[in-house]
A and B are shown apart, each in its own frame.
Chain A
Amino acid sequence: MELTTIWFFIVGVLLIGYFVLDGFDFGVGMSLPFLGRDNTDRRVIINTIGPVWDLNETWLIVAGASLFAAFPEWYATMFSGFYLALLVILVALILRGVSFEYRHLGKGQRWTRWFDQFIFWGSVVPPLLWGVAFANLAQGVPIVPMDNGGWIYEGTLLTLLNPYGLLGGLTMLLLTFTHGLVFISLKTAGDIRDRARAMAKGVGLVTIVAGAGFLIWTVLQHLDSPTLWVIVLCAIVAAVSLIGAWVANAVGREGWAFTGNATAIVFALLAIFMSMFPYLMHSSVDPAYSMSIEGAASSPRTLELMTWVAVFTLPLVLAYQAWTYWIFRKRLTRESIPVDAH
């Protein structure tokens, strides 16, 4: 396989890793106002992701840097093109990130309420807008080549907010919401666990409907794609695992439900990446203007170097991050939260 193709998949793996891992952090944040009846509840919910949200978010930073290194043209065109959407995502991530650490440090209810709001909106906005962005990448965006090399995005923020893009955003939002609810039921015991499971049942149904709609639409848009059969396959696996996850949740097998949800996110994103392949950005202006993987990639020397770095570090990263999850495997209850503090 070409190095460029390998890097297309490595960047894909990093992005998928980000959405699977930070995905449940987003869902946990979203559920805060719905599941958290009092402050102790809310603290239990936040502490389910306490030790891991930071390393989960790191996947985005690493994915972004790898994208920069492996496909500078893609990084440059997409990030300058989706300017305002990214700005909103950044602000959301900033506010969410500091809130986990800061909400319990201040005094008074007003303080806590502010940071709860930041956690909620900081968890709703990124998956929604990322979903919109990736759906648009699958569909094609108005990019044209520039005279002196490179591509330029000629649309606006509104160009991205088309029906398919919005459905993509909604699907991602719902997927991460369900994912987070299942994660909470996996990580807690007692009342919160039951409520999270019950809510996952309801939200899960909506997710299945939206997800099915999105995947079918994706397939229909790519009927003449050379990778059609892979897209279809990924869509089917995503749909089946999502339904499987719902069933597992309904019968109280939380581990399986979480695995099913994670698999659904992996394959839904794979379907998107496969509809982009062998391009990074389809041009909606003229197919001939599309940005190919080759055309956007770094030199073979850089890719080769980066491959070695990835080969040596990624297994290590997976090992110590898995160890972290193992260390914090115990379920949390209201009793895990010290009463006196704060």
Chain B
Amino acid sequence: MDEFLDPLSLARWQFGLTTLYHFIFVPLTIGMALIVAILQTVWVRTGKEKYLRLTRLFGKIFLINFAMGVVTGIVQEFQFGMNWSNYSRFVGDIFGAPLAMEGLIAFFFEATFIGLWIFGWDKLPKKIHLLTIWFVWLGSVASAYFILAANAFMQNPVGFEINEERGRAELLDIGAVLTNPVAVTQFPHTIFAATMFAGTVMVAVAAWHLQRGQFVDEMRTTLRLGAWTNIIAFMGVGFTGHSLGMVMTETQPMKMAAAEALYDTASGADASFSVFSLGTPDGAHEIFSIRIPYLLSFLSNGTFDGSVEGIRDLQAEYTELYCGGADSLLTCPTDGQFAPIIWVTYWAFRWMIGLGALAALVSAVGLWITRKNTELPRWVWKVAIWTAPIPMLASLVGWVFTEMGRQPWIVFGVMTTENGVSPGVPGWAVLISLIVFTIVYGGLAVVEFKLITKAAKEGPPEIPRASGDDTTGEPDQQQLGTVY
């Protein structure tokens, strides 16, 4: 029974659940805002109604999704105080700053301009209205940066000092916090991944209609735009992922070792990347694996002959470093283990890369076979429809990898996760909130999925003409206005 009511594991489950759920919506919001902004820009520049209709279609999908991103985001902010109050009081001085900056600089901006975009169709001049959706995208991207900077502090704490007297970490250099190498590399990686997701959603919507031979002109444009977006973004993801891997090796070598389940330090040809392997989780026995020599060394160091530290060496190193000193109260985990759960990190890392590559591959093949306007077999469209969630799943396992790979730390080298939990909150209270969030989130996931598929299946809406003056062909601004 006590096992079920352990506030620490419950709080961790709750954080994992609410965060992953939040990260379904955030990437699509960031990616879709860009797509909608581009479509609307093309409409304003060319005046072709096709692009206006697509703007409205993807704008609707974007908004359904945006609502969920906002409301689940409030939970994110509140649960640091609710479930992780010791963490909050220990690092609030530093961690709170980027959060507050996100609110003041980015989120106010985004929330204001999204209102103007939704309801401003008939109230703002065309070009100003176009600007509002670009501002929404800009706000969402800036928002992502501040949040990633806060997260990067947990991965690689910089720009702070420990105030012994107050028993907390204090800010020394906000510049260092905001230019944390982890944040700087994680940011483009995350934005490109988000854009990939928007790309595959477009591909899926287009495939659904093309399979039925509806809206052929609009949907061919959508299909190709989505596929190109996905492929270009994938290149960005790969490139930035490589820099991120090198930064990670430098800042959190244990995470890289755990990603590869590398128990013994290796270098050169021995530092191989295993595409797939079977064995016992403790690394004692390996039954079977497919390996690419030198690749791990390249991923970690950018060279083919560098060495990569293994879990066993790091464990010994960390035990000496963190479990002997005067401040080891916060830094030495009770079980003395410094390695995360290896099978989780190992497989999450592979699924992240594999799913991302799969999505790009499908798009590339799709572009090739749709280059001419010929009839295609049904299964092609089926496959295209099912690519929609792939980049999202890749993002989710990517976050599982990032956050689980950080364990046992809540702030790497400074505070262990078990020390961050709220001391006064009983396990049953956390369990109640975990159950409530699971039910509410589960219900809303169904609703959201229904609404998005409904909007997608309805396809690009008809644009009403200005009444009494059909010759101009101008859309009726009055009728464009959105209302709830």
Contacts and interface: CB of A to CB of B under 8 A. Distances in A.
Given A54-B111, A105-B455, A301-B170, A65 B89 contact: no
B401 interface: no
B429 A61 contact: no
- Of the four ranges (under 10, 10 to 19, 20 to 34, 35 or more), the interface on chain B belongs to 35 or more
Given A68-B99, A302-B94, A79 B116 contact: no
B424 A50 contact: no
A76 B86 contact: yes
B64 interface: yes
B67 A98 contact: yes
A217 interface: no
A52 B115 contact: yes
B376 interface: no
A82 to B, nearest CB: 9
A324 B97 contact: no
B67 A101 contact: yes
Contacts of B424: 80-81, 152-154
B112 A324 contact: yes
B14 to A, nearest CB: 11
A324 B115 contact: yes
B120 interface: yes
Given A51-B119, A60-B74, A321-B112, A68 B484 contact: no
A54 B423 contact: no
Nearest to A72: B92
Given A50-B484, A310-B104, A69 B119 contact: no
Interface in B378-400: none
B433 A69 contact: no
Interface string B161-203: 0010011101110100000000000000000000000000000
B119 A50 contact: yes
A69 B100 contact: yes
Interface stretch (B51-59, B75-83, B303-311, B406-414): B75-83
B484 A103 contact: yes
B93 A62 contact: no
Interface stretch (A159-167, A271-279, A312-320): A312-320
Interface in A115-174: 146, 148-150, 152-154
Q: Taking chain B's interface residues, is the majority helix, strand, or loop, or is none over half, making it mixed?
A: helix
Contacts of A317: 104, 108-109, 112
- Of the four ranges (under 10, 10 to 19, 20 to 34, 35 or more), the interface on chain A belongs to 35 or more
Nearest to B80: A68
B85 to A, nearest CB: 4
Interface stretch (A84-92, A192-200, A252-260): A84-92
Contacts of B483: 43, 47, 50, 104, 336-338, 341
A298 interface: yes
B72 A76 contact: no
B92 to A, nearest CB: 2
A90 B484 contact: no
B96 interface: yes
Contact of B85 (A79, A97, A338): A79
A66 B100 contact: yes
B71 A97 contact: yes
Interface in B402-441: 422-425, 429, 432-433, 436, 440
A149 B67 contact: no
B68 A58 contact: no
A64 interface: yes
B111 A46 contact: no
B425 A80 contact: yes
B331 to A, nearest CB: 15
B74 A94 contact: yes
Contacts of B341: none
Contacts of A79: 78, 80-82, 85, 88
B226 to A, nearest CB: 23
B92 A75 contact: yes
A135 to B, nearest CB: 20
A70 interface: yes
Nearest to B97: A69
B124 A327 contact: yes
A229 interface: no
B232 interface: no
B475 interface: no
A167 to B, nearest CB: 25
Contacts of A305: 97, 171, 174
Interface in B426-475: 429, 432-433, 436, 440, 444, 447-448, 450-451, 454-455
Contacts of A95: 440
A31 B77 CA distance: 29
B238 interface: no
A87 B444 CA distance: 17
B172 A83 contact: no
A299 interface: yes
A-B pairs with lowest CB-CB distance, top 6: A72-B92, A79-B81, A69-B96, A62-B103, A76-B85, A80-B85
8 contacts: A43-B483, A47-B483, A55-B111, A75-B89, A80-B425, A154-B424, A299-B93, A327-B120
Given A51-B115, A148-B167, A298-B171, 15 more contacts: A50-B119, A65-B77, A65-B102, A66-B103, A68-B92, A68-B99, A69-B92, A69-B93, A76-B92, A83-B433, A87-B82, A87-B433, A101-B63, A101-B66, A104-B483
